[in-house]
Chains A and B, each alone.
Chain A
Amino acid sequence: MTLPSWMSSFVEAIYFIAAVLFIWGLKRMSSPRTARNGIVWAGVGMAAAIIATFFVPGMHNLDWMIGAIVVGVGLSWWVGRRVPMTAMPQMVALFNGMGGGAAAAIGAVELVKFNAALMLVPNTYPIQPEAWAQKAASLPALTPVELVLAYVGALIGAVSFTGSLIAFAKLQGWMDRRFVFPLQRWVNLAIFVAAVVCGIVALLAGIDGHAFAWGWLVAFFALALLFGIAMTLPIGGADMPVVISMYNAFTGLAVAFEGFVLQNEAMIIAGMVVGAAGTLLTQLMAKAMNRSLGNVLFSNFGSGGGAAQQEIAGALKPIDANDAAVMMAYAERVAIVPGYGMAVAQAQHKIWEFAKLLIARGVKVKFAIHPVAGRMPGHMNVLLAEAGVPYDLIEDMDDINPEFPNIDVALVIGANDVVNPVARTDKNSPIYGMPILDVAKAKNVIVIKRGRGKGFAGIENALFYADNTRMLYGDGQAAAGELVAGLKSLDG
């Protein structure tokens, strides 16, 4: 295929426009009013960039390319349309992992190409500027800086790939347990160091102008992929949002670095913007859980150890749905506190139906959302929005916490760690210091819970044993349905 010579400038121009649209789109996405429109702008930029890429000079393998795009787009589109809203966090993890894997694969292609080219040119050791210039004239020339970034990008991308897949599997419930063994941190460190060493050996050979042994490259990728798995396995599900966000930033960085290797400005800008945005988002999430990122990654959260936690006195006091419904029907103010359990049970619609009946009876209803309730910040907001709950009924932690003493009934559905008062009282608890919703200060608390199990952090919840707390056992959706029925029967 021969293309006019101005074509590559044309492609560059489209990339520039795409980069502007990405930034503009993300900017729009950061305000609820314009958010929906933002993704459309970014989408337009993406489509333009993809189409323009077909016109990059010297492209072959178009049949394979189009086939792979059709299959990849088709499958993801189909899956993405079909999954329930509650499964969104793991979908983000899955698609993010794919992006990381792609960045690593690009690095691999470029390195393989570079090595193959080195095998064709005569050995130029020790390195000489003329030799480099000569090689730059041959097609797949990589400068030392590009070579380094190809390795770094591949490493980050590979870790993001397998790490995200493990995060996906954990959130999907395919992998319930954390895998913890003695000296795990040291084993992980050893894997990482080994990956870096393999990379450096291959890298130095390349910079010296030797073709490196393929074994080093293969070992580098294998170890990098293994490290992603090993690093994610010991992290508990409660910390997955932070981890996914971090891998999102990783993928962004990997894309930026590989973009530099390919001299592709759109990749550099978009990748770097995502890398920075993702890093900040990760920090915000870790902060909301009152933990440092290092603590999330390396602490083996909730693994026992350390000082004994305080014993919790009291008993669990059950209540049946009708009594609970009556209690709330005659209350003045009710706060509904949703957590991941509501997402699992898909109870958001029933809960909103219940809330509407309460509102119709003149009860003041608010939804209280902890920043990290669910598996991602904003997860609960998304679900409640899906059910049709208006914004003005949804309150953030900081706004609602001072109000709890005036609330007659707090209905906790599927939330656990984020309402656990031991975060304030027990210095030995692993969640000590985490900001929580002050549900325990409400006059009455009703907790809808499937069983007597512990929360994701695996610690007892003092709230459940408090004098003013009643437990309503059952699946979230079923329990909410019974509450609705209970309210309706009041009106005869």
Chain B
Amino acid sequence: MITGFLALYIFMLAAFTGYEIISRVPVILHTPLMSGSNFVHGIVLVGAMVALGHAEGGIEITIGVIAVLLSAGNVAGGYVVTERMLEMFKASKPEKKG
């Protein structure tokens, strides 16, 4: 169980981690990084699965399915888009095709 101050510490440390990671990023990577962090919060899928997995009754299940559907979209879309952007940052190849 995470409660009270322990949660506060986790929030605080995670926030500093996020802040530190971004603060030294070149402008060139801002868009891919925004996209990458968009993918990372796709972890919401895990929560949506737990919520749906413990849902009972029509309303809960319906909302739970919506949650899983949306978050699955977040994860997959976030990954594909980020990967496509970063693919272009491959180390410069010997010969470039136009």
Q: Which residues of A contact B (CB under 8 A)?
A: 15, 18, 22-23, 25-27, 29-33, 35-36, 38-40, 42-43, 46, 49-50, 53-54, 56, 58-62, 64-65, 68-69, 71-77, 79-81, 83, 85, 88-89, 91-92, 94-96, 98-99, 101-103, 105-106, 108-110, 112-113, 116, 139-140, 143, 145, 244-245, 248, 251-252, 255-256, 258-260, 262-281, 284-285, 288, 349, 352-353, 356, 369, 371, 376-379, 381-382, 385-388, 390-391, 394, 396
Contact = CB atoms under 8 A, between A and B. Distances in A.
Given A46-B39, A268-B7, A396 B27 contact: yes
B53 A270 contact: no
Contact of B31 (A80, A276, A378): A378
Interface in B65-82: 65-82
A262 B51 contact: yes
Contact of B78 (A69, A95, A262, A376): A95
Nearest to A391: B92
A242 to B, nearest CB: 11
A29 B86 contact: yes
Contacts of A108: 63
A244 B30 CA distance: 12
A92 B35 contact: yes
Given A53-B46, A98-B71, A379-B31, A76 B52 contact: no
- The listed residue with most A CB atoms (<10 A of its CB), out of B4, B74, B79, B90, is B74
Contacts of A288: 27
Contacts of A29: 29, 32-33, 36, 82, 86
A38 B22 CA distance: 14
A264 B50 CA distance: 9
Interface in B22-47: 22-47
Contacts of B28: 32, 378, 381, 391, 394
Nearest to A352: B98
Contacts of B82: 29, 39
Interface of B: 1-4, 7, 10-11, 14-19, 21-57, 59-61, 63-92, 96-98
B27 to A, nearest CB: 5
A85 B28 CA distance: 15
Contact of A39 (B11, B15, B57, B86): B86
Given A26-B40, A106-B44, A109-B67, A77 B14 contact: no
Contact of B98 (A80, A101, A252, A388): A388
A274 B41 contact: yes
Closest 4 CB pairs of A and B: A72-B72, A276-B18, A59-B53, A80-B80
Contacts of B48: 102, 105-106
A224 B89 CA distance: 39
B65 A267 contact: no
Given A260-B7, A277-B33, 13 more contacts: A65-B68, A80-B81, A105-B48, A248-B38, A264-B46, A267-B47, A272-B18, A277-B19, A277-B22, A278-B37, A281-B33, A378-B29, A391-B92
A39 B79 contact: yes
A238 to B, nearest CB: 16
A5 B34 CA distance: 39
A251 B34 contact: no
Contact of A26 (B37, B45, B59): B37
A92 B81 contact: yes
Contacts of B29: 29-32, 35, 378
Contacts of A36: 83, 86-87, 89-90
Contacts of B39: 39, 42-43, 46
Given A60-B53, A99-B41, A27 B32 contact: no
A381 B25 CA distance: 14
A139 B52 CA distance: 15
11 contacts: A22-B40, A61-B52, A72-B72, A72-B75, A95-B38, A98-B71, A98-B73, A102-B48, A106-B47, A277-B19, A353-B98
Contacts of A280: 18-19, 22-23
A381 B88 CA distance: 10
B51 A110 contact: yes
B81 A95 contact: yes
Contacts of A371: 27
Contact of B21 (A27, A73, A260): A27
A36 B38 CA distance: 15
B63 A255 contact: no
Given A33-B91, A39-B79, A39-B83, A50 B37 contact: no
Contacts of A266: 43, 46
B77 to A, nearest CB: 4
Contacts of A58: 53-54
Contacts of A15: 46
B30 A285 contact: yes
A286 to B, nearest CB: 12
A76 B71 CA distance: 10
A115 to B, nearest CB: 10
Contacts of B51: 105-106, 109-110, 262
Contact of A73 (B3, B22, B26, B75): B75
B70 A381 contact: no
